[in-house]
Amino acid sequence: MDIKRRQFIQASTAIVALGMTDGALLLSGNQSANAATASKNVRRDVTANVAGLDQVAAYERAVRLMKDREPNDPLSWESQAQIHQNHCPHGNWWFLPWHRAYLFHFESICQKVLSDPSFRLPYWNWTKDRSVPAAFWDERTSLFQPNREISPNDEVEGDVTGRTLINRIMNNNVDVLLYSGATRTDDQREPASQGELESTPHNGIHVFVGGEMGSFLSPRDPIFWLHHANVDRLWRSWSELHQHRSIGDKLWKDHKLTEFFDADGKVVTHVTSTTEDFAKFNAEYDVLETVVSTSTKRPMEPLSFTTKGLAGRQLVAFSSDVGDLGIAGSMQLAIDTPIKNSISKATAPLLAAEEKPIDSVILMKIEGITVKNTETRLRVFINCDKPSPNTPIGSPSFVATINFFGVGHGDHGGDGVNFIFDCTSTFAKLKKSGLYNGTGDIKVSFVPIGRKNAKEPSVLDDVKPKRVTFVGL
Ligand SMILES: [Cu+2]
């Protein structure tokens, strides 16, 4: 039986176990899903209340036992953090698989120190619970981290982890947006560009928590592992929703991930493609995300990479140097014919009938952002009259909020960082609300947003982009 087929069968079994009904996975927070999986070893929401299972207490013990070990012991807390500091890929297509293997081996070490093979990592669902869970604030426990930059009641904002954003990420059917941006890279530590899962909720939580979490030594903060378990849960959910479609490129598939230790402290190596076998890596969760809206579903086609970007796809549009953005941080972009066609294709079906699938996608690539202050986030708008930090994220002009993490460490950074967003739905909303007629020039605006209660106001110079390109697929 081939792997895909086996995965499908495993997936179906898991779905049945999780209480799937009428082809739709149950939404997060559904208690019956928890009840149905109470006896199964799966990763659970850290706030889930399952009789006879105290996952936080078990995790606290495991962390304490690892912190008690000598720093040079491969099973120690510090050794695990150093793996991330020295090897983690960010901003490229190994971001998700590398962290899946990293989580799995960390979890195996927890099992070993606890002498409990049934132990599974809990995850922090920051869309549902927007503050760092209470158990992580008790100074007497191993889960406390003294240098976080937030208080127990601080909540992450909606443009970082909100439901609309997560639905959009789940709806996305351009593989590269999930794994990375639309450029391939051949080095694990070489940044190419970031897709929305990485740039927004992933980076955003690192920056929001701050302290160790804001650096590549973030695994020193015990909340790191629950944060990444939730990122992995979203990848798993996305795979389920998109029939386990993945990147076909051999460079991605055959790349060896070599930096992990098994529970006996021996070095283990994985080939990237094996990380898609989620059962092998314990990437099984009590609740998976589902797509709520059907109106943005698009037909799926496999995409593959070439050195030029996406094979067989016309990289239409359009690139221009931003130059001096001035105080307002806006620029006028002339839209040429190919992208115009893309825009009208992408928006027409939505306008005609909500349920019709959209057969075109518009991607926006923001390139060469030089980051001087990683605490500053960058909000992006299209055709916004007077963009400001107070412009609501529910505005039809809103595209995304970029969060910066890991910039300037090791090889990450350099010529600036790149991000790719699917802005198809933004164009549809703009057209619907009369802010864009589908043919004229457009205005792209960048608004810097500082940390809440920041001493100095944020300025565009903190996170200045160099170029914007629109691509119609
Ligand atoms: Cu991370």
What is the model's pLDDT at position 464? Answer: 83
Distance (Å) from CA 84 to ligand 1 centroid: 9
pLDDT in tens, 314-326: 444 444 555 555 5
Distance (Å) from CA 330 to ligand 1 centroid: 31
Distance (Å) from CA 247 to ligand 1 centroid: 21
Distance (Å) from CA 124 to ligand 1 centroid: 13
Distance (Å) from CA 202 to ligand 1 centroid: 6
Q: How confident is residue 348, by pLDDT bands cut at 50, 70 and 90?
A: low
Structure tokens, 303: 């995409």
Distance (Å) from CA 221 to ligand 1 centroid: 11
CA dihedral of residues 347, 352, 355, 358 (deg, nearest 10): -30
Amino acid at 261: F
Distance (Å) from CA 415 to ligand 1 centroid: 21
Residue ranges and CATH numbers for the domains of the chain are 3-276 (1.10.1280.10), 314-472 (2.60.120)
pLDDT in tens, 92-140: 889 999 999 999 999 999 999 999 999 999 999 999 999 999 999 999 9
What is the model's pLDDT at position 192? Answer: 80
- Answer whether residue 432 shows pLDDT above 60: yes
Distance (Å) from CA 40 to ligand 1 centroid: 27
Q: How confident is residue 438, by pLDDT bands cut at 50, 70 and 90?
A: confident
Distance (Å) from CA 429 to ligand 1 centroid: 32
| Structure letter (DSSP) for residue 234 | H
Whether residue 303 contacts residue 311, with contact meaning beta carbons closer than 8 Å, is answered with yes
| Better-scored residue on pLDDT, 271 or 459 | 271
Average pLDDT of the residues of the chain: 80
Distance (Å) from CA 214 to ligand 1 centroid: 9
Distance (Å) from CA 456 to ligand 1 centroid: 26
pLDDT in tens, 203-218: 999 999 999 999 999 9
Rg of the chain over all Cα atoms, to the nearest angstrom: 22
Distance (Å) from CA 231 to ligand 1 centroid: 9
Q: What does the pLDDT average to over 3-29?
A: 36
Q: What is the chain's length?
A: 473
Rounded-to-integer distance, Cα 76 and Cα 69, Å: 5
Distance (Å) from CA 179 to ligand 1 centroid: 14
- Answer whether residue 24 shows pLDDT above 50: no
Q: How confident is residue 340, by pLDDT bands cut at 50, 70 and 90?
A: low
Q: How confident is residue 364, by pLDDT bands cut at 50, 70 and 90?
A: confident
Rounded-to-integer distance, Cα 255 and Cα 276, Å: 13
pLDDT in tens, 238-289: 988 887 777 777 888 899 999 999 999 999 999 999 999 999 999 999 999 9
Distance (Å) from CA 213 to ligand 1 centroid: 8
Q: How confident is residue 343, by pLDDT bands cut at 50, 70 and 90?
A: low
Which residue pairs, CB below 8 angstroms and at least 24 apart, start in 352-357?
354/295, 355/294, 355/295, 357/297, 357/298, 357/299
Give the DSSP H or E segment for 465: none
DSSP string computed for 54-82: -HHHHHHHHHHHHHTS-TTSTTSHHHHHH
Distance (Å) from CA 206 to ligand 1 centroid: 7
pLDDT in tens, 45-92: 999 988 888 999 999 999 999 999 999 999 999 999 999 999 988 888
Distance (Å) from CA 358 to ligand 1 centroid: 32
- Answer whether residue 407 shows pLDDT above 80: no
Distance (Å) from CA 176 to ligand 1 centroid: 18
Distance (Å) from CA 257 to ligand 1 centroid: 17
- Answer whether residue 338 shows pLDDT above 90: no
Beta carbons within 10 angstroms of residue 55's beta carbon: 18
Distance (Å) from CA 96 to ligand 1 centroid: 10
Q: What does the pLDDT average to over 420-428?
A: 85
What is the model's pLDDT at position 395? Answer: 95
Distance (Å) from CA 315 to ligand 1 centroid: 30
| Better-scored residue on pLDDT, 69 or 439 | 69
User: pLDDT exceeding 90 applies to what percent of the chain?
Assistant: 46
Distance (Å) from CA 203 to ligand 1 centroid: 7
Distance (Å) from CA 173 to ligand 1 centroid: 23
CA distances from 464 to 24, 144, 166, 368, 406 (A): 42, 35, 26, 8, 16
Lowest mean pLDDT among 106-110, 179-183, 380-384, 407-411: 407-411
Most confident of 100-114, 153-167, 376-390, 423-437: 100-114
Distance (Å) from CA 42 to ligand 1 centroid: 21
- Answer whether residue 454 shows pLDDT above 80: no
Most confident of 4-8, 421-425, 452-456: 421-425
* List of residues 6+ apart from 417 with CB closer than 8 A: 91, 191, 193, 194, 368, 369, 371, 404, 407
Most confident of 158-172, 437-451, 453-467: 158-172
Distance (Å) from CA 195 to ligand 1 centroid: 14
3-state secondary structure 111-140: HHHHCCCCCCCCECCCCCCCCCCHHHHCCC
Rounded-to-integer distance, Cα 426 and Cα 1, Å: 43
Beta carbons within 10 angstroms of residue 389's beta carbon: 12
Q: What does the pLDDT average to over 400-412?
A: 72
